[in-house]
Amino acid sequence: MSIHINGEEIKAVHYPNGHTDGDTIVFFVKANVVHLGDDFFVGRFPFVDLDSGGSVQGLINNIASVIQTIPADAKLIPGHGPLSTHNDLKAYHQALVETSKFVQDEMKKKRSLDEIKTGGLPEKFKEFGSGFVKSEFWIETVYKSYSKK
């Protein structure tokens, strides 16, 4: 959906099955600003509401799509954290991809959720677990999200 106000085109695009099933990302075309809401937590693990249609893979796919869609110099407004850049979004996406793969690899080794949580994520993701979504909760979210398949 697009609306035009005072010479600005504002596009609202639904991105399903990410943070929830009702996520909308808002593009302010002329201003080169994108509001990602709760799909983007700068440098932190996100909350994915599995009970409301969210999924980790859906969020990963949605962020990948946004990265391909937006200009490299766009200003990004996250749901949590400071004004950000295209590179910040790429780093966030990479962390989601790598930590999800890590948990899935552990699942393939028949490790239980408790075993994976006890072992934790690789050290380089320690800072990502310092927000309100701690590493243990992110591991559980990823585990449950991929167990639903």
* Tens digits of residue pLDDT in 93-147: 999 999 999 999 999 999 999 999 999 999 999 999 999 999 999 999 999 999 9
Burial per residue of 42-70, b for 16 or more beta-carbon CB atoms within 10 angstroms, e otherwise: bbbbbbbbbeeebbbbbbbebbeebeeeb
Look at residue 149 in the predicted model and tell me its pLDDT: 60
Confidence band, pLDDT 50/70/90 cuts, at residue 148: confident
Question: What domains, with CATH codes, occur in the chain?
Answer: 2-147 (3.60.15.10)
Question: How many other C-beta atoms can be found within 10 angstroms of the C-beta atom of residue 100?
Answer: 21
pTM here? Answer: 0.95
Average pLDDT for 11-17 = 96
3-state helix, strand, coil split of the chain in percent (to 5) is 45, 25, 30
The type of residue at 46 is: P
DSSP state letter for 5: E
